[in-house]
């Protein structure tokens, strides 16, 4: 248990990645919270934003590999909360290195859970993904908006795309059963297309913005233009994530996190980005090779009821914030 007279200690793995970084910023605003970030800097970056975060007196950093038991042992104990964002993600990694995706995501989660139930921390939050639902559509009708009660399936283990979904499904199984067997409060959130500053460049919003505003591509090429997504701004995802970890009613629960009220086709998303870039919305649609899910939209009624979750940032406002950050970023990298 944490000492009432000491700072509330919180561990974030993958803390210099995307959502983990934004969560760390939010948590570190409380001077009575000590935030420990673990990252191996494969995806996370020690950029100016990270340096500003790490300069705070209540934030510390460990460069470590969570598949190494020695790294796990170096974490110490006495944390109030653990947010386990460390994972290998991205379509390129999934297609080229599915073995690494499985090894890192599975081993880090299992080793961290062993440490957690042995007394490492009080609460555990596992970030999962809408990709967990992607394969169900091959064997069952997939309702959209999709509730958490939909069965999860992996239909072709030889397909490298199954490696990421499979690793997250394994993680969900492990977290749910470790928590239940050891009487420890755990929660799982399934993110649906979270976006925002510092998300990297290999995602649809920063990629479209770069080609629209910097390459001045005309017409703007848009892959899978008729596919639709429900994009969720990162600040809203962070708020929901903290609620899922901390609210007693959320313990043991699985929650979809997304913005179901603003589902949009990729074509219409591209048109918004062009308009915000001061460009005419001239678009050329093409078929994507590795995008098998035509529509992703979460049923967030459970998160609304249990977490009090209501997205606060509209898609238009989120795009403005995101594009403003990426304008500065793209100019800085030339």
Q: What is the pLDDT of residues 126-153, one digit of tens each?
A: 999 999 999 998 899 999 999 999 999 9
How do residues 293-305 score in pLDDT, each as one tens digit?
899 999 999 999 9
pLDDT at 1: 47
Q: Angle, to 10 degrees, between the axis of helix 162-182 and the axis of helix 98-115?
A: 10
pLDDT at 98: 95
pLDDT at 95: 86
pLDDT at 114: 98
Longest dimension (CA), the chain: 61
Task: Give the residue from 160, 162, 158 showing the smallest Cα distance to 135.
Answer: 162
How do residues 33-60 score in pLDDT, each as one tens digit?
999 999 998 877 788 999 999 999 999 9
Secondary structure (DSSP) of 97-133: -HHHHHHHHHHHHHHHHHHIIIIIEEEEEEEEEGGGG
Measured CA to CA, the distance from residue 72 to residue 192 in angstroms comes to 29
How many residues would you count in the chain? 334
Q: Is the pTM of this model over 0.85?
A: yes
Structural contact between residues 256 and 284, judged by C-beta atoms closer than 8 angstroms: no
pLDDT at 291: 67
pLDDT at 82: 98
For residue 179, give the DSSP letter.
H
Within 13 Å of residue 62, how many CA atoms lie on the same side as its CB? 18
pLDDT at 5: 65
Measured CA to CA, the distance from residue 276 to residue 305 in angstroms comes to 35
Measured CA to CA, the distance from residue 255 to residue 127 in angstroms comes to 10
How do residues 86-110 score in pLDDT, each as one tens digit?
999 888 888 899 999 999 999 999 9
Question: Which of helix, strand or coil describes residue 182?
Answer: helix
Provide φ and ψ at 31, rounded to 5°: -65, -15
* Architecture in CATH of 8-198+231-258+298-312: 3-Layer(aba) Sandwich (3.40)
Q: Along the 334 residues of the chain, how does pLDDT read in single tens digits?
A: 445 567 899 999 999 999 999 999 999 999 999 999 999 988 777 889 999 999 999 999 999 999 999 999 999 999 999 999 999 988 888 889 999 999 999 999 999 999 999 999 999 999 999 999 999 988 999 999 999 999 999 989 999 989 999 999 999 999 999 999 999 999 999 999 999 999 999 899 999 999 999 999 999 999 999 999 999 999 999 999 999 999 999 999 999 999 999 999 999 999 999 999 999 889 999 987 766 789 999 999 999 999 999 999 999 999 999 999 999 999 998 7
Structural contact between residues 209 and 277, judged by C-beta atoms closer than 8 angstroms: yes
CA distances 297 to 77, 129, 226, 230, 255, Å, are: 38, 12, 14, 5, 13
pLDDT at 93: 85
Measured CA to CA, the distance from residue 209 to residue 272 in angstroms comes to 10
Which residues in the chain belong to E strands, given as ranges? 8-13, 33-39, 59-63, 79-84, 121-129, 186-191, 194-195, 220-223, 228-229, 232-233, 254-257, 264-265, 283-286
């Amino acid at each position: 248990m944490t000492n009432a007279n000491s700072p509330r200690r919180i561990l974030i793995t993958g803390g210099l990645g995307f959502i983990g970084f934004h969560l760390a910023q939010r948590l570190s605003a409380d001077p009575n919270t000590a935030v420990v970030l673990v990252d191996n800097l494969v995806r996370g970056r020690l950029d100016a934003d990270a340096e500003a975060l790490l300069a705070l007196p209540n934030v510390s950093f460990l460069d470590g590999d969570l598949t190494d038991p020695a790294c796990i042992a170096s974490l110490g104990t006495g944390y109030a909360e653990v947010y386990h964002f460390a994972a290998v993600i991205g379509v390129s990694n999934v297609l080229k290195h599915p073995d690494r995706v499985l090894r890192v995501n599975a081993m880090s989660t299992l080793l961290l859970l062993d440490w957690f139930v042995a007394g490492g921390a009080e609460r555990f939050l596992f970030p999962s993904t809408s990709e967990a639902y992607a394969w169900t559509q091959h064997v069952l009708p997939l309702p959209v908006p999709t509730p958490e009660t939909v069965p999860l399936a992996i239909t072709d283990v030889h397909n490298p795309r199954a490696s990421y979904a499979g690793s997250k499904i394994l993680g969900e199984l492990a977290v749910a059963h470790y928590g239940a067997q050891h009487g420890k409060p755990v929660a799982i959130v399934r993110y649906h297309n979270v976006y925002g500053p510092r998300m990297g460049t290999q995602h649809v919003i920063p990629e479209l913005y770069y080609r629209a505003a910097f390459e001045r591509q005309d017409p703007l090429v848009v892959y899978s233009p008729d596919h639709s997504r429900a994009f969720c701004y990162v600040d809203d995802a962070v708020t929901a994530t903290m609620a899922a970890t901390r609210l007693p009613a959320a313990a043991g629960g699985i929650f979809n996190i997304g913005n179901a009220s603003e589902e949009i086709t990729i074509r219409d998303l591209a048109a918004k980005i062009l308009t915000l870039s001061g460009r005419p919305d001239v678009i050329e649609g093409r078929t994507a090779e590795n995008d098998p899910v035509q529509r992703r939209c979460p049923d967030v009624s459970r998160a609304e009821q249990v977490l009090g979750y209501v997205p606060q940032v509209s898609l238009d406002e989120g795009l403005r914030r995101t594009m403003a950050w990426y304008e500065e970023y793209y100019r800085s990298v030339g």
